[in-house]
Structures are given as C-alpha cells and as structure tokens.
C-alpha cells in the first residue's frame, strides 16, 4: 500500500501569510502527518503531493527526505487524478492538515480497506464534529445522518480510469484524530485545547 499526503493546496481559507501545512503543533503539521504514516509501518512508499502553491512546504519535505510528487496545482481533484493515474497499487490518501493524526488511527483506517471497492471515503458525523466545537463545509447524508469528509480515503488505484462518475463508498469513524483538520484560524486556535 502507498500512503499519499496531499500537500499542494493554497490554504486560502486560513488567511495566513505563510503556508498552512507549516503551522506548528509540536512540529510542522505536514511532518506530523507524514510521520504518522511512517510510524504505522503499513506503506511500501509515502508520497507527498506538492505544487507551485506550496513551495516552502515542498522544500521542508525535501529537506526531510520525503518523496515528492509535484503537480501543476490546478486543483485537488485534478492533482490527485494525475497522481493516481501513475500508480498501480492500493492507496491511502490523507490531507496534510490533520495535526492529531497518529499511527494507531492510520492502522484502524487501513483495516477498513476492501479490495472489491474502488474508493472508500472516511467520514465523521456532524454530531461528533459539533461535540468538538468544529464545523465543516460540504455535508453529505450517509447512514441516515449528516456526515462530513475527513480528507482520508482508501483507493484501489488499478480500478480507476477517471475520478468522474466513480462509485464512492463510505465508512464512519468518529475520532478526533481524523475529525480535526485545519480549515480555519478558529480550528487552529481550538487545536491548543484538543
């Protein structure tokens, strides 16, 4: 299995002068996410997906000997599609802005992988997210409740020809280690209480 960390976004919702993934929570958040994947010992390779939108993040990753896949930075879906077309393996995709991510929750998520499924997105429920004082955009209804994406997916890349019109499956895991992603300044402020 290959671990992919999405690290090429602009982070525009944070309204920061610097790059979002370089914010510190003990260490830069992007390194925390990469280390969580490494420490799980589940991946044959870990790739950080960067773009022209994140030059300082890319530099930090290279300085830490993390393999880079550089994309044009057109958009999340377009960049991810480019990466997945180059792979022929099972893949865990995670957003680079999950400061509480750890190897134990990564192992729990990877145990959800089903080879007959093309794409499985990991969700949290609105009720759980609200209990943490967090909000998210892009709700979806699944299993008779309102849920939100965590930015983590399990993908069988050799079953993908395009990300358009692909059947998506879902698994709910209400856990703060994957619910807590940094989309706003308020999220970062809340991090100190997590």
pLDDT tens track for 146-174: 999 999 999 998 777 666 667 899 999 99
Backbone angles phi, psi at 184, to 5 degrees: -145, 165
What pLDDT sits at residue 107? 97
pLDDT(78) > 80: yes
What pLDDT sits at residue 26? 74
How distant is the alpha carbon of residue 144 from its chain centre?
A: 25
Domain count, the chain: 1
Q: Which helix (H) or strand (E) holds 60?
A: helix 55-63
Using a pLDDT cut of 90, give the percent of the chain over it: 54
For the domain that residue 90 is a member of, what is the CATH number? Answer: 3.90.550.10
pLDDT(11) > 60: no
pLDDT(40) > 70: yes
What pLDDT sits at residue 91? 95
Token pair 């729990």 in the structure block, residue: 108
Start-to-end CA span in the chain (Å): 30
Distance of alpha carbon 2 from alpha carbon 22, whole angstroms:
23
What pLDDT sits at residue 185? 61
Mean pLDDT of 70-97: 88
Give the range of the structural domain holding residue 94, as residue numbers without chain letter: 2-191
């Amino acid at each position: 299995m290959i671990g992919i960390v999405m690290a090429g976004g602009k982070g525009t919702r944070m309204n920061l002068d610097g790059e979002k993934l370089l914010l510190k929570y003990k260490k830069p958040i992007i390194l925390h996410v990469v280390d969580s994947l490494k420490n799980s010992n589940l991946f044959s390779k870990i790739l950080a997906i960067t773009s022209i939108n994140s030059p300082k993040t890319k530099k930090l990753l290279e300085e830490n000997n993390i393999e880079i896949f550089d994309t044009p930075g057109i958009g999340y879906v377009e960049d991810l599609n480019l990466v997945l077309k180059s792979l022929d393996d099972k893949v865990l995709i995670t957003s680079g802005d999950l400061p509480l991510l750890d190897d134990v929750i990564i192992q729990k998520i990877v145990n959800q992988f089903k080879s007959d499924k093309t794409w499985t997105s990991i969700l949290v429920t609105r009720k759980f997210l609200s209990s943490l004082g967090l909000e998210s955009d892009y709700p979806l209804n699944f299993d008779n409740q309102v849920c939100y994406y965590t930015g983590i997916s399990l993908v069988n890349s050799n079953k993908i020809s395009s990300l358009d019109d692909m059947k998506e499956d879902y698994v709910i895991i209400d856990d703060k280690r994957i619910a807590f992603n940094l989309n706003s300044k308020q999220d970062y402020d809340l991090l100190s209480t997590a």
